[in-house]
Homo-oligomer: A and B are copies of this chain.
Amino acid sequence: MSADKIVLALDGMGGDQAPDVVVNGADIARERYPGTSFLLFGDPARLKPLVDKRKGLAQVLEIVPAEDTVLAEDKPSFALRRRRKSSMWLAVDAAAQGNADTVVSAGNTGALLAISMFAMRTVEGAHRPALASFIPTARGESVMLDLGANLECDADNLAEFAVMGSVFAQVLLGLDKPTVGLLNVGSEEEKGHEELRQAAGRLRRAGSPVNFHGFVEGNDIGAGLVDVVVTDGFTGNVALKSIEGTAKLYTQFVRDAFRTSTFAKIGYLFASGAWVKLRKRVDPRRYNGGVFLGLNGVCVKSHGGTDALGFAYAIGVAVDLVRYEYKNKLVEGLARLREVTSTAEASPALQAGGGAE
């Protein structure tokens, strides 16, 4: 498979509005990314009529029967062991076995992580995978990880996540040296958990594979202070959902404010173009496409409730990761991290504050 001929495995049955959203999303992506083709896993009786309606798509898509489906309420361990014949399992396996370059699913996040961990394993140099996503900021968009794959993280995990996020931002945002920050309760060097300080110590060293900014705080996320925000999965999950909840709250506050008087309602009408622009800027579909980074393969998680446009964005993320050789770049970065870490451990005197306490 050449770089301009990419094969995507799609979980046809995953997501709230599957399979329609998956098929429509693939059709949009097909036009956007010429040269891609699709293996669509799921129930042929439901998939075929949808695909047949789209001539262009039918030419580059093959339906692969899957008799089972991972449900939203399935526990990850159950899906891993008991849904081996599901559209999700077979799609992930296709990417793991090399029959596809990458897999995209809008299904159960925990199940997708468990199955892709099992089928793909982690890439050389990574202890654990992390879930990453884009978030809108005042400066454009940043990458944040981990968003929930690992509730507790040690210094190894956090330092590796920094490399994963950095390479992801290079590939997806086209940045040469993306800035990376570790999420903490203050920006001073002595703040936070021991694991955070240890990870920071490694990332700060000469030869570090990332452009390390230092510690950042919650308000720095929205400000876009750094291109990549690294944290453990518990904190990342809470922060991301807090951000989403606040965005929703403010949208409601603004809407309420414009309902308070006739003048305000007139103002709303005059400003309707501004609203459209605002909504575009914060359109959650634009930030669709969480990715499990650190796997020995490329697995993209689309939001379960997205529409076809959102699913097409998720496919776009997968295409870019393959096209710009994310995995090879990550392996290089992780190798550099290991060198920095082993040098640091061989000469503890060089470590900041080492033995001084």
Contacts and interface: CB of A to CB of B under 8 A. Distances in A.
Interface of A: 136-138, 148, 151-152, 183, 185, 192-193, 217-223, 231, 233-235, 237-254, 256-258, 260-261, 263-264, 266-275, 277-278, 281-282
Contacts of A252: 138
Contact of A261 (B244, B249, B273): B273
Contact of A193 (B151, B217, B248, B260): B151
A281 B218 CA distance: 22
A257 B277 contact: yes
A107 B282 CA distance: 36
Nearest to A242: B218
Given A264-B274, A273-B260, A238 B241 contact: no
14 contacts: A218-B238, A218-B242, A219-B248, A235-B238, A238-B238, A239-B242, A258-B271, A260-B274, A263-B271, A263-B274, A264-B273, A264-B274, A266-B271, A270-B270
A243 B239 CA distance: 8
Contact of A267 (B137, B138, B251, B270): B270
Given A185-B233, A185-B237, A264-B274, 9 more contacts: A138-B249, A138-B252, A217-B241, A218-B238, A253-B282, A254-B254, A260-B274, A261-B274, A270-B270
A270 B264 CA distance: 6
Closest 4 pairs between A and B when the two form their complex, measured CB to CB: A218-B241, A267-B271, A267-B270, A222-B245
Contact of A239 (B238, B261, B281): B238
Contact of A136 (B249, B273, B282): B249
A28 to B, nearest CB: 26
A221 B242 contact: yes
A270 B257 CA distance: 12
Contacts of A193: 151-152, 234
B281 A253 contact: yes
B263 A277 contact: no
